[in-house]
Chain A
Amino acid sequence: MKMTYKILPILALALYSCEPVDPTDPNEEELITTFTVDLVGPTSSATLSYVDLDGDGGSAPVISVDSLESNTEYTGSLTLLNESVSPAEDITTEVFDEADDHQFFFYSSGESTFTYSDQDNDGNPLGLEFELTTGSSGSEDYTITLRHEPVKTAAGVSDGDITNAGGETDIEVVFEIDIK
C-alpha cells in the first residue's frame, strides 16, 4: 500500500520528463538502390540503369538507357547495389548465394528475345547472366523483374514465363529502349 503511493509519483515523473527516444538511422542493408544492366554486343556495348538512393519515398528514381543495335546478339549481366550505405554493398552476390530462392524474368514489348545463361544448384534458371537478341529497329519496353521465393517448378517458370511464378517482387523495372 505505502509502496504504491511512493511508486506512483516516481513513475509519473519518469514519463513526464521523457522526450521521445531519438531514432537511430536504420542500417538499411537490404535496400536495393541501384540496378544496372550491362550489355556487350559484337561491335558496341550498352548500359541500362535505375538508381533510387533514398528508397521508396523521397526523391524520384533516375532511369538512364543507351540505345541498342537491331538484329544483334548481346551478352547481358546484372549488377545490384545498395549505395545508401557506405561503402556500397553488393547485393548481386547475395542473390547469387541464394540462387535457389531467386529468379529474374525478362519481357520485351517488341521482338527482342532473352535466354538464360546461368542456373541455380537445381539446374533452374537464375538470370544474373543472359543473352539478348534484338529484333528490327523501333522502340520497345523491357521489363526486368526479380522474384524472391518464386515457384520455379511451376508451369512455364523455367522458360522465363512469370505468370505462375508467385513470390515477392524485389525488383521490377521498365526500360524504354530505342533500337536503331
Chain B
Amino acid sequence: MSFGWLFPAAAQTCLYTIHGVVLDVHDETPMEEVSVYLQELGLEVWTDEKGHFTFDNICLGDYHIIFQHVGCPTQRLLLLLNKDTTLRVALEHHQNMLHEVDVHDHHDDALDERRLGKLALDANSHKSLAATLEQVSGVSTIANGADIGSPILQGLFGNRTTIVNNGVVHKGQQWGTDHSPEIDINSAAVVSVVSGAGIIRYPGSHMGGIVVLQSSPIPFDPHLHGKVASTVETNGRGGTVNTQLYRGLKRHQWRIGGTFKRMGDRSAPDYFLNNTGTQQNHLNAEFHKQFTRLDWKTFYNYYGAEFGILRGSHIGNLSDLQAAFTRIQPFYTDTVFSYNIDAPRQEVHHHQLKSAIAYKLQNGEIELNTAVQRNLRREFDIRRSGRSVKPALSLLQYNLQNEVVWSLGKKIEMGYQFSGKNNWNLPETGILPLLPNYTSFTNGVFVSHRTQKRKLKLETGARYDYVARNVVRLTSNQPREIERFADRYHSVALLTRGTVALDKKWQILGEIAFKQRPPEINELYSFGLHQGVSGIEEGSIDLNQEQGLKGSFHLRGLLGDRFHLDLNGFGHVFNGYIYLQPSQEYRLTIRGAFPVFTYEQCDALLYGSDAKLRFTLSNRWMLESNWSYVFARNRSENLPLNFIPPLSGLNELHYEIAEWKEWRNLAVSLNHRFSAAQWNWDPSLDLAPPPDGYHLWNLSLSGTFKAWKNEPQIRIGIENLMNTTYRDYLNRQRYFADALGRNITLSWLQNF
C-alpha cells in the first residue's frame, strides 16, 4: 500500500474535502467498488468505476480510513487532516497473478517466490505452518497426525529444507519425519517459498527452495491497533485465539502478540483418534527504532507445544507393528472423548531472540544481525512402572547466528556468517540416547549479484561454508565407553538464473544450481529405537557430503485477459543422496524382532512439475486448478525413493459478492483435493503399501458483517465435507488409523 499527499488547498474548519483514488498495486488500474470507511464519523463511500471517492465537509482532526475490497486484505490509514487532501491508495489485489504491466520494483521477484499473504494466513490461523503451506502449489506435508508436520518442497523435506523466520535460519531438531518446525504462523504477515539468488545468503542444509516468514511493517499510527482472531473447530472440540497489538510512532514502533490453542482427541469418520490432542502457547514481540542512518529491529518469539500422538501408533516390536497394520480400528480406540494428552507425546519449547541493525552507507547498506535460539524437545513413550512421565528423548540445543552483510540495492549482496550450535541429551531418560552430544561451528561467506539488461534479468550467487563438528557418544556395547569424532566439511553452493519478460503478458525463467550438503548428525550417528520410524535406526559414520545439481524452468503468463497460467518444472540430480533404507533383516532383541533402518547413499534423480491454471469467468466467478507431480528414483539400486508426494491436485471454484444485505466482501469457495496413490513404490522400502488415492471436498463461506460497528470478519469452513474415510501416504499415522473426518470451523476476526 502506498500513499501520496497531493495539492493541499486552504479551507475552513469542517469544510475540508478528502478525495482519493484507489488503484491496483500491480498494474495501477483503478479499482471499483472498494469500500472506503471513515471510522471516526461512521461514513462509508464506494469507489466509482475510475477508482475515485470523496468525503466532503469534514472537520479538522485525525481520522482512520479503512479500505475494504473482496480479495484484498483490509487496509487502514491514519490521516491528520488540516487541509483539503487527495489520497492515492494502492491495494494488493489477487496476488500470485501476473498482471499486464508490473510497475513496481518488488514485483520483479514475482517468479522467485510464491507467497501466502495476510488473507490466506488469517484464514488458516488455527493451522500449523506446514498445513498452511500446502496451499502453495508444489508444496506438500510430511506429517504425524494432525498438528505435527513439516513442509516438502519439490520432493525434499527435513534436513533438505530450510525455514527462515525473521531473517534467522530456524534451528531445532529438523531430522525426524515426526518433528514440526517450532514456528507459529500468526506472528508472520507473509509466508513465501523462495528460490533464486535470494536464497544464497541463507546458510543451511536446504538443497532446493526455502520457506521464509516475514512480519509486516508497522504502519505509522500513534493509536493502539491490533486484531483478535479466534477459531473454534468441531473435530477435536477445541479452538485457537490469536491477538496482536501494535503501535507505530514516527521514530519507533512495536508489536506484541500471542496465540493459544487447545484441541482434544480428533476423530476419523468412524472412531476417535485417542490421544491426539494439542496444547500450544506462542508469543511474539518486536520493536523497531529508527535513527538518522541506522535502523534497529529486535524480535522475540516463543513457541511452546505439547502434541499427543495416537495411542495405537506406539509399538513394541515387529509383531506389534504387523498386528497394528491389520486392525480396522487402531488398538486403544475408546468411545470417550478426552482433552488429556498422555504418552506417547512430544513437548517442545523454542525461543528465538534477534537483533538486526541496518546502517545506510554512502554506497549501499550494511547489516549486522545476531540471533540466539534455544530449543528443548522432550518425547515421552509408554513405559513401565510410571516411567511414562520420564522422557525417552530429551534434547537441548543452543544456537547462535551472527552475520555482517553489505548490499547495494538489489544489485549486489555479500557477507560473512558465523553460526555455532551446542546440542546435548539431558540425562533424565534412563535410555541410551538416539543421538550423540555435539557442537557444530560454521563459517560462511557468500556473494550474489543481479543485473537487468533490457528484458533479461540475470542472477548469480555463490557461497562457501566450512563446517566443524565435534561429536561425543557412548558405545552401544557394555561396558559403555566414550567415543569421540571430529567431522570437517567444506561445502559450496553455486546458482545462476535468467528471467526473460517475453512481452507484457509472459515471463519465463531458467535456473541451474549446485549445492553440497554435509551429512547431518542423525544420518551419521543415530542409534537405537526410534518410534518415529517404528524401528531401530542406525546412522553410518562413513557418509560423504551429498551433492545436488538442479535445473528448473518457470513459465508464467496470461492468455487473453482471463486465463492465467503458471507452469513449473525441475530436474534434480543427486550424487550421494542420503536416505533411510529398511534392512531386509530384523534385529533380534529380548522384545522380539525389530525392523532395522540404516542411512545409506545412492545416486538419485528427482524430476517433477507443478502447474497452476486460473480462469476468471467474470467479476464474480473464478476457477483455479493446481497440479503437482514428482518422480524420484534411486539410480544406484534402480528403485524408487521413499516419502515422495504422489500426484496431487487442488481445484477451487470461487464466487465473490461485494455487498449483500448486512454483509460485504462475501466469498464462497468450494474446493476439491485429489491425491493419487503413490504408484512409484517398492515393497522393500516401506513397512506397508501406500494407501489408495482419495478425493476430499472443502467448503468455505466468509464475509464482513457490517451491521455491527466493529465489522467482524466471519468465516465458516467445512473440511472433508463428505466425511470421507481416507489415509494419506505422507502421514505416518496412516499405518495405524484413518485420517480426520469432517471438521467444521467457525472463525471470527476483529481488527481494531
Measured CB to CB, the residues of A under 8 A from B are: 1, 4, 8, 11-12, 15-16, 18-30, 32-33, 35, 50, 52-61, 84, 94-95, 97-98, 101, 145, 147-149, 151, 163, 166-173
Contacts and interface: CB of A to CB of B under 8 A. Distances in A.
B198 to A, nearest CB: 26
Interface stretch (B82-90, B236-244, B476-484, B648-656): B476-484
Given A21-B424, A61-B590, A169-B319, 14 more contacts: A12-B420, A15-B421, A15-B439, A28-B430, A28-B432, A53-B478, A54-B476, A57-B477, A57-B536, A58-B475, A84-B478, A163-B323, A168-B316, A169-B320
11 contacts: A8-B402, A15-B400, A15-B421, A18-B420, A20-B422, A20-B423, A24-B427, A52-B590, A60-B588, A171-B591, A172-B317
B430 A22 contact: no
B438 A20 contact: yes
Interface stretch (B164-172, B173-181, B377-385): B377-385
A129 to B, nearest CB: 20
B331 A30 contact: no
Contacts of B431: 26, 28, 30
Contacts of A16: 420, 441
B402 A12 contact: yes
A94 B432 contact: no
B296 A26 contact: no
Contacts of B314: 168
Contact of B296 (A1, A54, A58, A163): A1
B299 interface: no
A24 B589 CA distance: 24
Interface string B405-426: 0000000000000101111110
Q: Interface residues of A: mostly helix, strand, loop or mixed?
A: loop
Given A11-B372, A28-B432, A59 B384 contact: no
Contacts of B398: 15
Interface in B424-456: 424-425, 427, 429-433, 436-439, 441
Interface in B589-644: 589-594
Contacts of A151: 331-332
B315 interface: yes
Contact of B471 (A20, A55, A167): A20
A26 B477 contact: no
B195 interface: no
- Listed from nearest, the 10 A-B pairs whose CB atoms lie closest are A172-B592, A169-B316, A168-B316, A166-B331, A15-B420, A57-B476, A58-B477, A54-B478, A21-B424, A20-B437
Contacts of A166: 312, 323, 331-332
A27 B390 CA distance: 13
A145 B402 contact: no
B370 interface: yes
A95 B385 CA distance: 8
Contacts of B323: 163, 166
B514 interface: no
A151 B331 CA distance: 9
A16 B332 CA distance: 48
Nearest to B429: A26
Contacts of A148: 316, 382, 384
A26 B400 contact: no
A35 B477 contact: no
A92 to B, nearest CB: 12
A172 B593 CA distance: 8
A167 to B, nearest CB: 7
Interface in B288-328: 296, 312, 314-317, 319-320, 323
A94 B471 CA distance: 36
Nearest to B296: A1
B288 to A, nearest CB: 13
B482 A22 contact: yes
A23 B590 contact: no
Nearest to A57: B476
Contacts of A94: 384-385
B470 interface: yes
B430 A29 contact: yes
Interface residues of B, number: 64
A168 B323 CA distance: 11
A20 B440 CA distance: 9
A56 B594 contact: yes
B335 to A, nearest CB: 14
B223 interface: no
Contact of A33 (B382, B420, B590): B590
A147 to B, nearest CB: 8
A141 to B, nearest CB: 13
B587 interface: yes
Interface in B248-292: none
Given A11-B400, A98-B385, A169-B319, A23 B594 contact: no
A49 to B, nearest CB: 11
B592 to A, nearest CB: 3
Nearest to B485: A20
A12 B316 contact: no
A21 B384 CA distance: 29
B488 to A, nearest CB: 15
Interface string B175-207: 000000000000000000000000000000000
B432 A4 contact: no
B681 to A, nearest CB: 28
A30 B332 contact: no
Given A35-B590, A98-B384, A4 B370 contact: yes
A80 to B, nearest CB: 9
Most buried by B among A23, A29, A171: A23
B30 to A, nearest CB: 46
Interface in B464-522: 470-478, 480, 482
A50 B384 contact: no
A32 B384 CA distance: 11
B382 A169 contact: no
A57 B528 contact: yes
A12 B592 contact: no
Most buried by A among B355, B437, B590: B590
A109 to B, nearest CB: 15
B254 to A, nearest CB: 16
Nearest to B312: A166
B562 interface: no
B315 A168 contact: yes
Nearest to B317: A169
B316 A22 contact: no
B529 interface: yes
Nearest to B423: A20
B587 A56 contact: yes
Contacts of A12: 400, 402, 418, 420
A56 B529 contact: yes
A163 B316 CA distance: 15
Contacts of A24: 427
B225 interface: no
Given A12-B400, A57-B528, A60-B588, A20 B384 contact: no
